[in-house]
């Protein structure tokens, strides 16, 4: 985790530690919106069964795609910070001057 001091010092990045929290918040929002879409689809099936079924499938697909893309975005951010750490280690070894 990070200390309160880390907010005022630039020796250590805090984003890699809090990105996991944001990832789980995004997953929670995706699931909530997906459930909302599923319930809307079930209500729409009373009016138009085919339209409600299409809405149901698109809600489920939206949840799956949202979870996958949020994971990709979180991993991309973590990879960028990991590259920074590795480049710093290479620089400290004297590989690039």
Report, as an integer, the average pLDDT of 66-71: 96
Does the CA dihedral 43-47-52-55 come out positive or negative? negative
Tokens (6 digits) for 60: 């489920």
Report, as an integer, the average pLDDT of 16-39: 93
Q: What is the pLDDT of residues 4-25, one digit of tens each?
A: 666 676 666 777 778 989 999 9
Q: What is the pLDDT of residues 55-66, one digit of tens each?
A: 999 999 999 999
Distance CA(75)–CA(18), nearest Å, equals 13
pTM: 0.75
Segments forming the whole domain that contains residue 87: 18-93
Does the pLDDT value for residue 34 go beyond 90?
yes
Count of domains in the chain? Answer: 1
Give pLDDT, residue 88: 83
Q: Is residue 51 part of a domain?
A: yes
Tokens (6 digits) for 80: 């960028």
Q: Is residue 54 part of a domain?
A: yes
């Amino acid at each position: 985790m990070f200390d309160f001091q880390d907010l005022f010092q630039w020796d250590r990045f805090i984003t890699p530690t809090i990105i996991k929290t944001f990832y789980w918040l995004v997953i929670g929002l995706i699931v909530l919106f997906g459930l909302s879409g599923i319930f809307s689809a079930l209500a729409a099936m009373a009016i138009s069964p085919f339209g409600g079924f299409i809405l149901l499938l698109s809600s489920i697909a939206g949840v799956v795609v949202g979870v996958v893309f949020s994971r990709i975005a979180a991993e991309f951010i973590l990879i960028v910070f990991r590259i920074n750490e590795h480049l710093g280690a290479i620089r400290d070894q004297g590989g690039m001057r």
